[in-house]
Structure 1
Amino acid sequence: MTDYAEVIGDPISQSKSPAIHGFWIEKLGLDAKYRAHHVTAEGLADYLAARREDPDWCGCNVTMPHKQKVIPLINRLDNVAERVGAVNTVHRAKDGALVGRNTDVAGFLEPLRDHLARQHYFRMARVLGTGGAARAIVAGLDEAGFTIVLTGRDPEKAQALLNELSGGEHHVAPLSHFAEPTDFAFDDREGCCDLVINASPLGMRGQPPLAFDWSHAPPGSIAYDIVTDPVETDFLKSARETGFGTIDGLSMLIGQAAAAFVHFFGVEPPREFDTELRERLVA
């Protein structure tokens, strides 16, 4: 009898989760498996009903389009998942209940940990995108004390998302606003933390490019792209060429997987091998 966990979604063949969790299982020598399992919206309830009865099943990661649809099918949510309104990890608790968690918030914030440990006079994040990924990102940034400028094709959708997830004084702008150059004179950013985050699929392989002019970013900004295919996006390339720091999508992907791994298998993943893991993921 071998413990196992899964990632479920529709489609699912593109998921890097089996490679990540399988790498850690191998390094730790665990008697466990992690696999991808295709689950449609119509089959989601039956999938969870069957797994509840399987003593070897440790849980599953949940990807699109199930992150919200899974909520009424499980027993309870942790505080983060309840606030975000989306679940990306389900695991069995000691009492047998199925618990829904959102590790996307922790995964997104992980590569920013050193920056957030510092004192800042002001923190501002320009977040591009209003889809499912933006929910976790907005919630995490709000908790970390950022003023958020949320942009999307539909400003009303952006405002509704902010109203739902945050009580702070944030702002909305159309995505097109950032496509054209600006001559805005930014003030002294000493002691500030500025982020520009692509939380959209734009720039992903097979998707349209993301049009962002870096004159909209204050000096010292950090560009963060959650896209993982390709890892080196045009958004990050242009940011680096302009002199900004960058964080790629594998950082968030690995971070959220690490938080889930503990709930599945009860041990911390061996993060000292992150460089080797990254090489395997981009090979």
Structure 2
Amino acid sequence: MMLTGKARLAGVLGWPVSHSQSPRLHGFWLEQYGIDGAYLPLPVEPAYFADAVRSLVRLGFRGANVTVPHKEAAFRLCQEDGNSLTERARAVGSVNTLIFEADGRILGDTTDGFGFVENLRAGVPGWDAAAGPALILGAGGAARSVIAALQDAGCPEVILTNRGRERAEALAADLNGGRTTSLRVVDWDQRHAACDGIALLVNTTSLGMTGQPPLDLDLSALPDRALVTDIVYAPLETDLLAEARRRGNPVVDGLGMLLHQARPGFAAWFGVVPEVTEALRAHIISGRK
């Protein structure tokens, strides 16, 4: 559609940024809802990140997404005087969504955890985080967002395991304070046994992703009703999901997390709360081929 002088503008900051699916995703919604706006890929070198964001504010942008390697820099920028962070961004220590206020202030948010939970709720209607313990594989930034979201959603216990225990211990120490959810760490070689009695299994590692080593996980102890999800979406159905499906477990792929995490930003920038539909999924999948 034709843009006017009143077009609402947003984009995604990254270095590089050509791999990002966000322009395709937001572009679909802009066309679907007939919005006078644009969402642009914005390649920015790390040294110029803060200056680039301030320039976007001056240019009248409504906000931006932030991807690798800028999330920590975005968090620091939002700690500066006059700027602010949402509670969930402060808890996670990372920002992936910037909202530019009318007075020039910058609000930093993180929506990965929101996208994770919404993806499970959409994929398995009636899913409840309070149903039982969750086992999280990995202790990176994605695991941090997932665990914080599960804590907020009422998960009674989170079991965390990582190939390097020290990193898992550090993450658990960061997220244990002031929470009712029990959070404990087990050694990586105990991951198979840790499947016993859980209600949710989440792989946040790159293991099983296209071009990465496979994930070695014995699901023998996994309860039949346990939900299995993988935040990887290349391939769309990982070996973990395929094996869980063969066992009869409910499974949810990682693409929906990408789609749902984009909703809060789109709503803030363009004034419409968008829906995640099968047509949107098909559109994103077709663009990855």
TM-score, normalised on structure 2?
0.87
Contact (CA 8 Å) 1:225, 1:247: kept in 2 or not?
yes
Pick from 78, 91, 95: which aligns with 1:83?
91
Residue equivalent to 1:154: 164
Where 2:65 maps in the other structure, the secondary structure is strand
Matched, 1:278 2:281: yes
Residue equivalent to 2:185: 172
What whole-Å deviation, never above 9, does each CA across 1:94-133 have from its counterpart, x for those lacking one? 3321100111111111133344558x5x521110111111
Letter in 2 for 1:80: R
Aligned mates of 1:230, 1:270 — CA distance in 2: 24
More moved, 81-90 vs 70-79: 70-79
Residue equivalent to 2:62: 58
Aligned mates of 2:161, 2:221 — CA distance in 1: 13
State, as a whole percentage, how many aligned pairs show the same letter.
39
Where 1:141 maps in the other structure, the secondary structure is helix
Contact (CA 8 Å) 1:149, 1:172: kept in 2 or not?
yes
Matched, 1:37 2:39: no
1:194-233, aligned counterparts within 5 Å? 194-233=199-238
Aligned mates of 1:98, 1:186 — CA distance in 2: 45
Q: Are residues 185 and 76 of structure 1, via their aligned partners in 2, closer, same or farther at CA, if it must alter by over 3 Å?
A: closer
| Aligned pairs, number | 270
For residue 237 of structure 1, report the CA deviation from its aligned partner.
0.8
Contact (CA 8 Å) 2:195, 2:222: kept in 1 or not?
no
Aligned mates of 1:232, 1:35 — CA distance in 2: 29
Letter in 1 for 2:176: S
Runs of 5+ unmatched residues, structure 1:
188-192
Matched, 1:145 2:154: yes
What whole-Å deviation, never above 9, does each CA across 1:179-210 have from its counterpart, x for those lacking one? 6xx5x9956xxxxx711001112211111111
Where 1:214 maps in the other structure, the secondary structure is coil
Contact (CA 8 Å) 1:28, 1:270: kept in 2 or not?
no
Letter in 2 for 1:237: A
Pick from 131, 137, 143: which aligns with 1:134?
143
Runs of 5+ unmatched residues, structure 2:
none
Contact (CA 8 Å) 1:178, 1:216: kept in 2 or not?
no
Aligned mates of 1:71, 1:133 — CA distance in 2: 15
Q: Are residues 232 and 116 of structure 1, via their aligned partners in 2, closer, same or farther at CA, if it must alter by over 3 Å?
A: closer
Residue equivalent to 1:112: 120
Contact (CA 8 Å) 2:8, 2:269: kept in 1 or not?
no
Where 1:42 maps in the other structure, the secondary structure is helix
Matched, 1:238 2:243: yes
Aligned mates of 1:185, 1:251 — CA distance in 2: 24
Where 2:213 maps in the other structure, the secondary structure is coil
Q: Are residues 186 and 165 of structure 1, via their aligned partners in 2, closer, same or farther at CA, if it must alter by over 3 Å?
A: closer
Q: Are residues 185 and 135 of structure 1, via their aligned partners in 2, closer, same or farther at CA, if it must alter by over 3 Å?
A: closer
Q: Are residues 49 and 96 of structure 1, via their aligned partners in 2, closer, same or farther at CA, if it must alter by over 3 Å?
A: closer
RMSD: 2.0
For residue 50 of structure 1, report the CA deviation from its aligned partner.
1.3
Letter in 2 for 1:157: R
Structure 1 consecutive aligned stretches of length 4 or more whose deviation exceeds 6 Å: none
TM-score, normalised on structure 1?
0.89
Aligned mates of 1:221, 1:186 — CA distance in 2: 10
Aligned mates of 1:270, 1:141 — CA distance in 2: 22
For residue 62 of structure 1, report the CA deviation from its aligned partner.
0.9
Aligned mates of 1:185, 1:258 — CA distance in 2: 32
